[in-house]
Structure 1
Amino acid sequence: MTVSEYLKQNTASYHDAAEKLFNSAKIFNKTFTLEDYKKIIHTNYLMLLHSEDKIFEELKDYSEKLKLSDRKKLPLIEKDLKSLLLEKSVADHELELISQHEALGAMYVIEGSTLGGNVIAKQLSKTEGFDGVTFNFFGCYHENTAAMWKNFKETIDAEVHEKKYDEVLSGAKKLYTFLLNVS
């Protein structure tokens, strides 16, 4: 089993909890509102604000392989905040990542949300009430979404030894827990 498969299997309950928190089912039956969208953007903003720099610092050795310079999302979600007239804020608790492996796990959560975000952006752009909404964060990779996900998965699957799977999982769980408790 690869580390990406291990993560998918062992974070499924966290993923489901996040979908429930954000009323994701409403996206596909077209009852998702602009207020629902503002909540998801604000929560993801706090997640990125408290994790992105830490993750990128831990993963500087992987900068080339992971194309880190193309994965910066905080400036994009800040544009979404501004366009939605949402205030910047900070979370009332910190996120601590103690290793490269934990940072890879946290990045797995963010990159996975980008994959799902692309689907969300396409769906919401066809939903009443979302005219003029810019999907800077959710549409960040545009037509390169699948390729960026594939690059991330292939890199971690090649780089992470089975002995370190639990450490990578720890990072993913930490970020999911942060996300679920910050909203």
Structure 2
Amino acid sequence: MHGDSSAPAFPDVMAVLRQRTAEAHTRLENALELLSPDLSVSRYRDVLMRMHGFYDALEPRLDERLTGAGSPLPDWPSRRKVPLLRHDLRLLGVDEAALATLPRPRVPAVGDVAAAMGVLYVFEGATLGGRFIVRHVVTTAVPPAATTFFGSYGDEVGRRWSQARHAIRAWTAGEAARVESCAVTAAALFGALEAEFAR
């Protein structure tokens, strides 16, 4: 009989992340109102402008943690969303000079790679819901060409989400401190987004 046979299985980081963020995630989806039958161009533009603030603040921090040799997610640079947000906003009449004048949102610190994985969980997870948002938005007055952010990966969304999940699991496997840093950061980011869109 092996000595560790009775040891409890280490909790799956993805289950921890879901449990710690589920309620805030649901509240955020409701606050965004992107699936409203009355979605207007102005509301859609406002959502993208606010989202831009979060991605613009956090993607450079992910660059610091996830770029280069030893990155747990080597294709991170191809996942950046700020260029897509700026593309969509330009089509909606918002240029980069206007974006630069907006107040910066309060975002969680990204002090280590595990925290970066917490941000990644939120950002990459959003690509799954983005598919449903695109399907709805194209039935409204919003120009279909202004959906590159929410439709970022196209038919590759499932594969790329699977890769992100694998990277998060591999980095945190068996490391309680890493799981906690990842979960705390993801929950903090959902909280910050919820606070922003509740205004």
CA-based RMSD: 2.0
The residue that corresponds to 1:150 in the other structure is 162
How is 1:6-45 mapped onto 2 (pairs within 5 angstroms)?
A: 6-26=16-36, 30-45=37-52
Deviations 1:15-40 (A, max 9, x none): 012112212452xxx22222221222
When normalised by structure 2's length, the TM-score is 0.81
Deviations 1:137-168 (A, max 9, x none): 11111111111101101121122134121110
How is 1:117-132 mapped onto 2 (pairs within 5 angstroms)?
A: 117-125=130-138, 127-132=139-144
The residue that corresponds to 2:7 in the other structure is none
Distance 1:143 1:102 in 2: 28
Bigger helix share: 1
Distance 2:158 2:57 in 1: 26
Change (3 A) 1:159 1:92: closer
User: 1:140 aligned to 2:163?
Assistant: no
The residue that corresponds to 2:179 in the other structure is 165
Percent pairwise identity:
23
Structure 1: where are the runs of 5+ without partners?
A: none
AA of the residue aligned to 1:118? R
The residue that corresponds to 2:83 in the other structure is 75
Distance 1:172 1:85 in 2: 32
Shift in Å at residue 77 of structure 1?
0.4
Aligned length: 179
Which moved further from structure 2: 59-68 or 134-143? 59-68
Change (3 A) 1:66 1:11: farther
Shift in Å at residue 62 of structure 1?
5.4
Structure 2: where are the runs of 5+ without partners?
A: 1-10
- From 98, 102, 106, the equivalent of 2:119 is 106
When normalised by structure 1's length, the TM-score is 0.87
